[in-house]
Structure 1
Amino acid sequence: MTIFDAVLLSYDEPMADALYSRLQRTLGSSVKRLHGVHGMRRAYRLCAEVVDREQFLLADGDFAIAADFDVAAVEPLGEGVSMRVWQTVNPVNGLAYGYGGLKLIRRSALREMGQAVDVLAALPGRIEFAQQIAGVTRFNQSPFHAWKAGFRECAMLARGSEYGMADDGSRLRVEAWANSRNGEFAPYAAAGAREGVAFAREFARASGRFDHLNDPTWLRARFAAAHGDQAVAG
């Protein structure tokens, strides 16, 4: 039994129900769920209000936790650390890093969160990046979801990582995303990556436009304009 509360934060992911059940089975405890909240920053902040403990595990709605993840071995966050992020495996390009990863996070840090396009990068305090792989980020559940993942991540990487990643690391990850060819809907993830880089080149310093990365309605409209309504429905 874990000493931490846990929350799955979902929005419109087709596999969210199944991944929620998987998370509950693996953690061996009741996992809370927050679903369909519009506004990414608002959704994360609301997570702080549904838990009873200061430190809690937070999973995205497309996170497939590894069956052998040992929650009993998870150490609490140290003083001054606001969040720990475990690595996930990317199913379309094989990368393993913190994208879509399981998080251990402080409720108080979410309540004091600042402003950033990559919302959790604005937490106060330090962020730890664990080397352990905690699962797979199953964002490739439809053409739209695969495209959105590539578009958002590569736009932010091309603009400059808000976590302070070196340019060489960002460039290598963008290249891997743009050459995605494994798993379901990989071509859409690759297209999203290329289009996200182009978007960043045009609007990286236009904060009002760049904030569209967190607007689901805008993202769906942009995808439909480039790839067709049928792909959105898929």
Structure 2
Amino acid sequence: MTNFDAVQLSYDEPLASSLHTRLARVLGGTVKRLHGVRGMRRAYRLTAEMVDTETFFLADGDFAIDPEFPTATVEPLSDGVAMRVWQAVNPVNGLTYGYGGLKLIRRSALREMGQAVDVLAALPGRVEFCRQTAGVTRFNQTPFHAWRAGFRECAMLARGSEYGMTDVSAQERIAAWTASRDGEFASYSAAGARDGVDFAKVAARNPQHFEALNDPPWLYQHFTTLRGEQAVTG
């Protein structure tokens, strides 16, 4: 058991309940859950009101924590650090980085969060990226979820990372996403990555349009428009 509270933030992920149980088993104690809240920025801010500790673990609804994650050795955040992110293994393209990883985050930072499409990039304070891997991001649970992951991530990478990533690193990650071929529904992640790059070319300079990346109904409609027939026919 840790000295930190924990919250799973889920929206529509099919495996969220079982992954919540797994998270509670590994972290120990009670892991709270916020589910189905529309408005990503609002949902993140609400997690800050669910906890009793200033710093808490935050996991996405598709994050599968490693059963061997060393919970008891996790250090508190240093002064000036708003969030620590542990890496997650990507099941479709072989990448291992902060995408979908486990977070240790300050409640006060969430309450003071600014505006960014990649919502947590707008936290006041530094973000600490940990080289340790904490689990697997299991976003490839359906064709739509696999497509949505590639679409959102590559659209943001193509526009320019809000975490200060170099253009070279961003292009390397886009190339890996568009070449996705491992695991279930990998072809949908690859298609989503290509569609996300195309979307960024059109919408990157229109903040209101680009914000559609955080609108689940719009994302599903866009998926069905572009790939719906493919999803039905396989």
SS at match of 2:93: coil
2: distance between equivalents of 1:56 and 1:164? 24
SS at match of 2:6: strand
- Which residue matches 1:168? 168
- Which residue matches 1:38? 38
2: distance between equivalents of 1:38 and 1:118? 15
- Which residue matches 1:9? 9
2: distance between equivalents of 1:121 and 1:231? 32
CA root-mean-square deviation: 1.1
Matching residue's letter, 1:217: P
- 1:134-213 equivalences in 2 (<5 Å): 134-213=134-213
Matching residue's letter, 1:77: L
- Which residue matches 2:126? 126
- Which residue matches 1:73? 73
Count of equivalent residues = 233
Matching residue's letter, 2:132: Q
SS at match of 1:68: coil
Q: CA deviation at 1:231?
A: 3.0
2: distance between equivalents of 1:35 and 1:228? 26
Does 2:112 align with 1:112? Answer: yes
Question: Percent of aligned positions with the same letter in both sequences?
Answer: 71
SS at match of 2:29: coil
Q: CA deviation at 1:115?
A: 0.2
SS at match of 2:49: helix
1: distance between equivalents of 2:198 and 2:2? 43
Matching residue's letter, 2:83: M
Q: CA deviation at 1:29?
A: 1.3
5+ residue gaps, structure 1, are: none
Matching residue's letter, 2:147: W
SS at match of 1:50: coil
Q: CA deviation at 1:9?
A: 0.3
5+ residue gaps, structure 2, are: none
SS at match of 1:38: coil
Tell me the alpha carbon deviations over residues 125-164 of structure 1, each in whole angstroms, 9 at most, x when there is no partner: 1000000000000000000000000000000000000000
Q: CA deviation at 1:185?
A: 0.2
Task: Report the TM-score, using the length of structure 2 for normalisation.
Answer: 0.98
Q: CA deviation at 1:229?
A: 6.6
SS at match of 1:79: coil
2: distance between equivalents of 1:229 and 1:214? 24
